[in-house]
């Protein structure tokens, strides 16, 4: 009898452990058609999305059209609707070849949102796009401009929410609004830890739209998601963020975009490596080449010496958060003084003091400590707008 009871306990323990390891699939907002399709009946609909707008292996545009939704236009962000343009590349208006729906570019050139005829094309705007939760990642900036235009024209906005792959933490200085630009629009830290749906609610609630107006907003939340959930990247959110490792390292490596150091654009490991021709002494080397999404990468065709971070463990990256040690190391190894940084650096980091701290020899830990008070204050400020457990 004792042996039988012991066997029963072992079986129960096995089942319990097995259950604990089971992960429930995240249901994104765009998969919850029963929640938003009724809101679109008889409406002219505009769509803000790109190739990441996949609803269980089907693009949201196709889902809407298959359900008879009248999609009158598509708004495309940086990298274009199909997501293959270079960072910062001007994207022109066009027509989606697969569906014939007009595409209006919101990145580069004159914004179509300034044309009253554009706003007359639709009654409801659908937002379905994979963000990565960083202040310098431009999709949320485009969303802000759309919310502004919709508030002004009394149009509704429906956000089909998606998880944030960097949603497990908050880090970095809060943007100094005198540095406001296309890579920094709101008074939030570099890593804000919010989904687009949560951030949109905060934008409305904090009065961050022009003249403190509010747009008519509906968020269709994800199911089975918390901020602690590890998110898999199935469709790259942009050409040079090809995998989860790059997305996790992006908050620490993007600042190299304001320096002569290559961050791996034009290689198979963008935002997972960094290097420069003058950084000799490192055993790891790479040579950036022209390729789709990086036609003219920094240090093109030059052998760069540096570090390969693609094999860092998840735990290491998560524990370090924003790690400026890579930038500080490269600053000293390239050894060209203040000319190492372009003016773009302040826009990326969102703070006027960080460059001077690096040049004065402060460590990454000392610099990180300077923004911790702002991080804690922001976490309290954002709390009323969170849709998911932390």
Q: Beta partners for 284?
A: 306
Average pLDDT, the chain: 90
361 vs 281 pLDDT, higher one: 361
Edge-to-edge strand ranges of the sheet holding 273-276: 273-276, 304-308, 284-286
353-382: average pLDDT? 98
Separation between Cα atoms, residue 262 and residue 53, nearest integer Å: 30
Contacts of residue 383, defined as CB under 8 A and 6 or more positions apart, other chains included, come to none
Cβ atoms 274, 256 nearer than 8 A? yes
164-181: average pLDDT? 98
183-190: average pLDDT? 98
Which run of H or E residues covers position 364?
Answer: helix 364-369
Residue 311 tokens read as: 């094999």
Domains of the chain plus CATH, in order, are 29-220 (3.40.50.12170), 244-370 (3.90.1150)
* Phi, psi values for residue 299, rounded to 5°: 60, 35
> What pLDDT is recorded for position 232?
87
52-67: average pLDDT? 94
Question: Tokens 């962000």 identify what position?
Answer: 77
User: Which range has the worst mean pLDDT, 50-59, 178-187, 327-336, 353-362?
Assistant: 50-59
At 104-146, the pLDDT tens digits run 988 765 678 888 899 999 999 999 999 999 999 999 999 999 9
Cβ atoms 186, 203 nearer than 8 A? yes
User: Which range has the worst mean pLDDT, 152-161, 232-241, 364-373?
Assistant: 232-241
Q: CA dihedral in degrees (230, 235, 239, 240; nearest 10)? A: 20
20-48: average pLDDT? 90
> What pLDDT is recorded for position 96?
82
Using only C-alpha atoms, the chain has a radius of gyration, in whole angstroms, of 23
94 vs 330 pLDDT, higher one: 330
b vs e for 141-154, b when ≥16 Cβ sit within 10 Å of the residue's Cβ? bbbbbbbbbbbebe
Q: What is the pTM of this model?
A: 0.90
> What pLDDT is recorded for position 241?
96
At 70-91, the pLDDT tens digits run 999 999 886 567 545 444 444 5
Task: State how far Cα 357 lies from the chain centre.
Answer: 27
- For the chain, the straight-line distance linking the first and the last C-alpha, in angstroms and rounded, comes to 45
What does 365-381 look like in DSSP terms, one character per residue?
HHHHHTTHHHHHHHHHH
Q: How confident is the model at residue 56 (pLDDT cuts 50, 70, 90)?
A: confident
Predicted confidence (pLDDT) at residue 326 exceeds the cutoff of 80: yes
At 265-285, the pLDDT tens digits run 999 999 999 999 999 989 999
Q: How confident is the model at residue 155 (pLDDT cuts 50, 70, 90)?
A: very high
> What pLDDT is recorded for position 92?
57
Instruction: Count other Cβ atoms within 10 Å, centred on residue 16.
Output: 9
Residue 209 tokens read as: 């739209």
User: Which range has the worst mean pLDDT, 13-22, 178-187, 234-243?
Assistant: 13-22
At 193-247, the pLDDT tens digits run 999 999 999 999 999 999 999 999 999 999 999 999 999 888 999 889 999 999 9
């Amino acid at each position: 009898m004792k042996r039988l009871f012991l066997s029963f306990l072992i079986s129960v323990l096995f089942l319990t452990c097995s259950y604990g390891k089971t992960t429930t699939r995240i249901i994104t907002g765009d998969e919850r058609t029963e929640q938003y399709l009724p809101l679109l009946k008889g409406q002219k609909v505009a769509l803000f999305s790109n190739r990441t707008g996949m609803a269980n292996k089907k693009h949201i545009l196709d889902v809407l059209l298959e359900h008879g939704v009248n999609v009158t236009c598509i708004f495309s962000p940086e990298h274009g609707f199909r997501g293959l343009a270079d960072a910062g590349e001007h994207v022109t208006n066009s027509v989606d070849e697969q569906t014939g729906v007009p595409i209006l570019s919101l990145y580069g050139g004159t914004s179509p949102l300034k044309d009253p005829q554009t706003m007359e094309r639709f009654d409801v705007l659908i937002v379905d796009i994979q963000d990565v939760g960083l202040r310098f990642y431009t999709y949320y900036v485009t969303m802000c401009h759309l919310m502004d235009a919709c508030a002004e024209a009394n149009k509704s906005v429906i956000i089909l929410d998606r998880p944030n792959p960097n949603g497990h933490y908050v880090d970095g200085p809060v943007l100094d609004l005198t540095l406001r630009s296309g890579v920094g629009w709101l008074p939030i830290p570099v890593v804000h830890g919010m989904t687009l749906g949560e951030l949109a609610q905060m934008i409305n609630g904090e009065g961050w739209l022009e003249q403190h107006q509010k747009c008519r907003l509906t968020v269709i939340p994800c199911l089975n998601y918390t901020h602690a959930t590890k998110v898999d990247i199935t469709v790259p959110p942009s050409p040079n963020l090809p995998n989860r490792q790059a997305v996790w390292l992006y908050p620490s490596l993007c600042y190299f975009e304001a320096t002569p150091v290559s961050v791996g654009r034009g290689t198979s490991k963008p935002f997972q490596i960094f290097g420069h021709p003058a950084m000799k002494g490192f055993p790891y080397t790479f040579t950036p080449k022209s390729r789709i999404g990086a036609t003219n990468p920094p240090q093109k065709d030059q052998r760069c010496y540096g570090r390969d971070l693609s094999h860092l463990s998840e735990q290491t990256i998560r524990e370090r958060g924003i790690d400026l040690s890579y930038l500080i190391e490269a600053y000293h190894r390239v050894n060209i003084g203040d000319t190492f940084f372009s003016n773009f650096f302040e826009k990326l980091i969102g703070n006027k003091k960080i460059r001077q701290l690096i040049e004065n020899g402060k460590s990454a830990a000392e610099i990180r400590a300077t923004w911790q008070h702002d991080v804690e204050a922001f976490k309290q400020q954002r709390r009323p707008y969170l849709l998911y457990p932390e």
